[in-house]
Structure 1
Amino acid sequence: MTAVRSTSVGTMTYETLSARARDGESGPDPAGLRVAVAFTTRQAVRHDGRGTGYRNEVLGLRVGAAVGSCAVEPGALDDDVVEECAGASVDRLLRHPLTPVRVAALDAYLMHVAPHTPAHGARPVTVPAGTSLEKSRARARAVVGLLDLPAGATVLVVGVVNSLLEALRARSLAYVPCDFKGGVTEWGETVVTDALAEAHRCDALLVSGMTLGNGTFEPLR
């Protein structure tokens, strides 16, 4: 999801941000913008040297030069939904009954209004060439590098990515891995399933954008 900082007092919630977009308060009228391309990306991942793998599915919506996205559980979206999004106005999709569609439409709209460039507060990160695992680790180091925490602090990781856990371990940061799927991490640690029950004992939360699509982001925020 595109990062947007509120200039008003208080914190900008997802619903407030969406309402502002629908009302044209964040940029051009979304009724005048259409989705040119709608697609899903499905992938299965099993890196060399890792004992576990995973599957991803992401809905993507293109508006002009921008692409907005929302991760979903594999198989959660019918092909009819993707076809329905193609050619639809952004305004219509911001009001769609499916949360992932609304999230992807808002992401595309915000990216269209404020592209991810330094002029809009983005900080470029170059992911070097290499294997899929090397790239995964590079991304994880960049993300974990955003945490301003002393060694020994505890991070709640919502949406388990082993490379993120590895990067936290390298910085001597403790963590609580959390994911609806449960299971264990690459290092045999139990993955908890109730993020809110664990948040109180953590110094920071590192939360997957997938929480926007499944409706669990706001309680964590």
Structure 2
Amino acid sequence: DSSGSSWMRHIRRAQQFFGLVYYQTSQAVPELQPTGSSPDSAQFGRPMSDLPSWLLPRLEGTGVFDAPAGAPGGVNQVQGNEYLEDSGIGLHVEDPAAGESLATLSLLQPIQLTLQRAINRRPMHKDDRDREDCLKVLLEPRSLFVLQGDSRHNFAHAIRQSRLVHLRDGASLRRGKDYRRVSLTFRSIVEGQRAAERKDMPEGYTAFELPRRDRGAPRSDDG
């Protein structure tokens, strides 16, 4: 939200990118899914230098990534997401292009994430899914959530759209009109593995579009 902020509102959640632009679950939106032939202005979002100077060094100190930001194996994308009211993210497994590890920093308001078993690195079909066979993780403000190894490849994750967020002290937070959460997800994108179609769709699934709230124009959404 600082000077130069550039939230894009092509899907239900507003987004902005630092470094490479690549969003795995909305390939029908060219602004979020540039190709190798796209101009540099489309390939890259805001410069990494726009981030607070302490942020990437603190992340590198966790050892999640193999190299410093900008180096091979280091962070080359920071994706900002804005969640208002009851918005969330549908169940998915991270694209192979997202690298071996990713980390998400949560800000402002808490939310719950779910982890469910994946089959062949794809979410289970909804008809086969046991909704009770999942782990709910509370993502609190200023917490860092890391996916790597089994949790990265063999589990699908989602951000819940429930109006109630159950907190660690037993209380609940209701997501109303004033609810706002911002997350920063750090990835080491493998540029050569970026794809023009989703790699994690369960067999028989197809992408869908939801109408925009403004004037009824179509808008892609991943849930």
TM-score range, shorter chain: under 0.3
Q: Calculate the TM-score normalised by the size of structure 2.
A: 0.27
Pair member with larger Rg = 1
Structure ranking higher in strand proportion:
2
Structure ranking higher in helix proportion:
1
